[in-house]
A and B are shown apart, each in its own frame.
Chain A
Amino acid sequence: MRTRIIVLLAVLALLGAPMLFAGGGAEAEEDELEIFSWWTAGGEADGLEAMFEVYEERMPGIEIINAAVAGGAGTDAQAVLATRLQGGDPPDSFQVHAGQTLLDTYVAPGLMEPVTFLYDEHGWREVMPEGLIDLISVDGEIYSVPAGIHRSNVLWYNQAIFDEHGLSAPVTLEDAFEAAEVLANAGVTPIALGDTNTWPATHVFESLLLATLGPDGYSGLWTGATPWNHDGVYEALTVMDEMLEYVNSDHAALTWDEATGYVADGTAAMTIMGDWAQGFFTAEGLEPEVDYGWAPSPGTEGSFLLVSDTFGLPRGAPHRDNAVAWLEVVGSREGQDAFNPLKGSIPPRTDADRSLYDSYLRSAMDDFETNAIAPSVAHGAAANEAWADDVNSVMSFFVSERDVDAAVRNLVNTAAEHL
């Protein structure tokens, strides 16, 4: 009897031993750098890899651990990251969107270390626009280093269809509806939308808000300076309601890339989508300015609705020195010029090597330097996740029920909750 119990205990001890060793093995090594992101495929992963190469040249002998988590536009990655931060196990640096995602979610609870010293040391303030730095600063301290910039307010159109019907890129909302009417009469679906994941509807809505309120009025919505029952909000929703008349009937079944595919293959004429759509056109083998064209989304010329991927320095990063060296690569011209052409985004630095970028990216770089910068809500810059989630929820109802008054009422209520 007793022997049996001893055997049992021995077995348990043997089973337990590897776990103890596993725990020991996870302890921090000196020559490592763990980078967390949700860039796991395509140009994004290539861009990240290119930045790693720049790092390896500068810091030979340091092993980079790519802790990327796939899926869900970062939702799943953020859940994993939250768990790690709650458990006191931060990566050395992680991808985070500029704006409220960074400031409200990570900086406010004291999880981030300011990196203002890097900006002073390397003179980054002179080469990055103030509008961008504002989005990653609180109380005079800067909390992350932008790696790349995407533009949210872009209208993409199929050049062949526009040529065939004698149309040019619409500048105002009126132009856009005139073009849509011409196309609809000719039997072409004027506008492609794929809102099965809801955010593409919010994406269109933010571009319309920017058009009706202007960059200052739009930015004010998220700080309380512009009330949500402003006429501009009613107007944006009314325009959206009209716009939905010109949208493909199966929009609720499509994702954003399937909708972009409609423009690529000529099923639909135009779509409002961020400039990551260009990566899709390129993958389809289409040529910029030949097969497809672009313009700021109607009524938003002179404004740049921004989505920026940045890297920050979490408090308690296991290899802080390596992480700081990483942030120096992220903020360097060399690092940004390695990353952005592959990712299909523009560099936050205004002194980049323009010859590396294609014609769309060069036009976006020009606009980024001169335009008024406003934060995107569909992509976590303008509001914290809870507010953005509520706006998504309002848009999900709006696209189906098309009730402008109810939508404004709900937007006013959620704003009151989060301001």
Chain B
Amino acid sequence: MVASRTERLKAIAVVAPSVGAILLFVYVFIGWTVRTSFSQWRGILPDYTFAGFDNYIAVLNSPRFMINVWNTIFFTAFFLLTTIALGLLMAYILDKGVRGENFFRTVYLFPMAISFVVTGVAWRWIFNPTVGVNAILQTVGLDALVWGWHTDPSRLGTFHLALIPVIIAASWQLSGYTMAMFLAGLRGIPADLIEQARIDGASEFFIFRKILFPLLRPIVFAAMIVLGHFSLKIFDLVYTMTGSGPAFSTDFPAIFMYERTFRANQYGQGAVIAVAMLLLVSVVIVPYLASTLRKEKA
């Protein structure tokens, strides 16, 4: 496309403010955080004296940080798995032409519209070990299933069982969102393709496995990126639902960062945790951006 000089200037004038804002509020602040992470800033007033890797060593040696890393890995894995599986299932069923599809679609989507703070408080009470789900389980005689939920500090290897209620709450909130994504994807698949397969005698499962799922793969990928970067930064849901949990069983880097920075006034160490989170998110985002860019060039 050939543009005249004025057209090009106009384009630059339109884009410049947002580019400037992004440069300032994203990249300058990232740089600032990195600088703080190498500084001796502890206490209220900034102190940018170079501290080398002192803060990094302190954070990496903290048992809480290692728990954070494992919790993030397990939470992200199970949260993605359940949300995508449930979303796909709901979309598949709705796509079959259930009566009242509009009604169900709205119902499934609603949780996404609620603030995480509200969800956190609600689920905190649902899983309360004395008055919550346990009380229901006891009345129906399923005492074997009664346990401490998010207040139980036990673990399997490095997996804290207290994460299970948090994963359930987060999946409840976002399955509807993945459902909407998959539903859009399913509607985009030409019906005659499936019709043809059916005429050729393919089973429903075969159609799903060999036709629908491959065509939905880009959506699975997109969902993983959106939900993944989101679960790596999770804060409000967990903070209101369980806090850090007993022995930090439901602790996440964002909570650690908040408390280290604003409760303990260890700004340097807080910045280290922020940098660690940035690295975690880039592990997910950078390959995605790279592949998108490659596609655009091709």
In the complex, what residues of B have CB within 8 A of residue A104's CB? 43
In the complex, what residues of A have CB within 8 A of residue B244's CB? 198, 396
CA distance A386 to B265 in the complex (A): 6
Q: Let me know if A1 is at the binding interface, CB within 8 A.
A: yes
Q: B57 → chain A, closest Cβ, in Å?
A: 12
Q: Let me know if A184 is at the binding interface, CB within 8 A.
A: no
Q: Let me know if B264 is at the binding interface, CB within 8 A.
A: yes
- Is the beta-carbon distance between B153 and A389 smaller than 8 angstroms? no
Q: Let me know if A238 is at the binding interface, CB within 8 A.
A: no
Contacts A252-B148, A389-B260; A197 near B44 (Cβ below 8 A): no
- Is the beta-carbon distance between B153 and A252 smaller than 8 angstroms? yes
Q: Let me know if A196 is at the binding interface, CB within 8 A.
A: yes
CA distance A384 to B150 in the complex (A): 30
Q: Let me know if A385 is at the binding interface, CB within 8 A.
A: yes
Q: Let me know if B129 is at the binding interface, CB within 8 A.
A: yes
Contacts A109-B43, A250-B151, A400-B247; A82 near B129 (Cβ below 8 A): no
Beta-carbon contacts under 8 Å, A169-207 to B: 195-198
In the complex, what residues of B have CB within 8 A of residue A78's CB? 262-263
Q: Let me know if B107 is at the binding interface, CB within 8 A.
A: no
Beta-carbon contacts under 8 Å, A46-67 to B: none
Q: Let me know if B63 is at the binding interface, CB within 8 A.
A: yes
Q: B284 → chain A, closest Cβ, in Å?
A: 29
| Contact surface of B with A, Cβ cutoff 8 Å | 6, 13, 42-46, 63-64, 128-130, 148, 150-153, 242-249, 259-260, 262-266
- Is the beta-carbon distance between B260 and A396 smaller than 8 angstroms? no
Contact with B along A386-415 (1 / 0, CB 8 A): 101110010011011100000000000000
Residue of A nearest to B46 (CB): A86
CA distance A396 to B248 in the complex (A): 7
Q: Let me know if A253 is at the binding interface, CB within 8 A.
A: yes
Q: Let me know if A106 is at the binding interface, CB within 8 A.
A: yes
In the complex, what residues of A have CB within 8 A of residue B128's CB? 250, 253
Q: Which of B152, B259, B265, B266 counts the most chain A CB atoms within 10 A?
A: B265
- Is the beta-carbon distance between B45 and A111 smaller than 8 angstroms? yes
Q: Let me know if A371 is at the binding interface, CB within 8 A.
A: no
- Is the beta-carbon distance between B243 and A400 smaller than 8 angstroms? no
In the complex, what residues of A have CB within 8 A of residue B43's CB? 104-105, 108-109
Beyond the given A105-B265, A393-B248, please list 6 additional residue pairs across the A-B interface where CB-CB is below 8 A.
A1-B6, A86-B45, A109-B43, A197-B243, A252-B245, A253-B129
CA distance A197 to B255 in the complex (A): 13
Q: A179 → chain B, closest Cβ, in Å?
A: 24
Q: B75 → chain A, closest Cβ, in Å?
A: 19
In the complex, what residues of B have CB within 8 A of residue A243's CB? none
Q: Which of B128, B242, B244, B263 counts the most chain A CB atoms within 10 A?
A: B263
Residue of B nearest to A390 (CB): B264
CA distance A390 to B6 in the complex (A): 61
Residue of B nearest to A197 (CB): B243
In the complex, what residues of A have CB within 8 A of residue B153's CB? 252, 400-401
In the complex, what residues of A have CB within 8 A of residue B249's CB? 400
- Is the beta-carbon distance between A253 and B130 smaller than 8 angstroms? yes
- Is the beta-carbon distance between A82 and B44 smaller than 8 angstroms? yes
CA distance A85 to B43 in the complex (A): 12
Residue of B nearest to A8 (CB): B13
- Is the beta-carbon distance between A399 and B264 smaller than 8 angstroms? no
In the complex, what residues of B have CB within 8 A of residue A386's CB? 42, 264-266
In the complex, what residues of B have CB within 8 A of residue A85's CB? 44-45
Residue of A nearest to B58 (CB): A417
Contact with B along A76-99 (1 / 0, CB 8 A): 001100100110000000000000
Q: Which of B129, B130, B242, B247 counts the most chain A CB atoms within 10 A?
A: B247
In the complex, what residues of A have CB within 8 A of residue B130's CB? 250, 253
- Is the beta-carbon distance between B262 and A393 smaller than 8 angstroms? no
26 A-B Cβ contacts within 8 A? A78-B262, A82-B262, A85-B45, A104-B43, A105-B44, A105-B265, A109-B43, A111-B44, A196-B151, A198-B243, A250-B128, A252-B152, A252-B153, A252-B246, A253-B128, A253-B151, A384-B265, A385-B265, A386-B265, A389-B260, A390-B264, A396-B246, A400-B246, A400-B249, A401-B153, A401-B247
In the complex, what residues of B have CB within 8 A of residue A82's CB? 44, 262, 265
Q: Let me know if A282 is at the binding interface, CB within 8 A.
A: no
Contacts A253-B128, A386-B42, A397-B63; A75 near B243 (Cβ below 8 A): no
- Is the beta-carbon distance between B247 and A396 smaller than 8 angstroms? yes
Contacts A252-B151, A393-B64; A75 near B44 (Cβ below 8 A): no
CA distance A321 to B79 in the complex (A): 57
Q: B133 → chain A, closest Cβ, in Å?
A: 12
In the complex, what residues of A have CB within 8 A of residue B13's CB? 5
* 8 Å CB contact of A109 from B45, B64, B148, B260: B45
CA distance A290 to B114 in the complex (A): 46
Q: A175 → chain B, closest Cβ, in Å?
A: 29
Q: Which of B13, B45, B248, B259 counts the most chain A CB atoms within 10 A?
A: B45
- Is the beta-carbon distance between B248 and A109 smaller than 8 angstroms? no
Residue of B nearest to A406 (CB): B63
Residue of B nearest to A198 (CB): B244
- Is the beta-carbon distance between A196 and B243 smaller than 8 angstroms? yes
- Is the beta-carbon distance between B44 and A389 smaller than 8 angstroms? no
Contacts A252-B151, A397-B63; A389 near B264 (Cβ below 8 A): yes
Q: A379 → chain B, closest Cβ, in Å?
A: 13
CA distance A397 to B245 in the complex (A): 10
CA distance A389 to B256 in the complex (A): 11
Q: B16 → chain A, closest Cβ, in Å?
A: 13
CA distance A87 to B263 in the complex (A): 18
- Is the beta-carbon distance between A75 and B263 smaller than 8 angstroms? yes
In the complex, what residues of B have CB within 8 A of residue A111's CB? 44-45
Q: A206 → chain B, closest Cβ, in Å?
A: 18
Q: B161 → chain A, closest Cβ, in Å?
A: 12
Q: B40 → chain A, closest Cβ, in Å?
A: 13
CA distance A404 to B94 in the complex (A): 56
Residue of B nearest to A267 (CB): B130
In the complex, what residues of A have CB within 8 A of residue B150's CB? 253
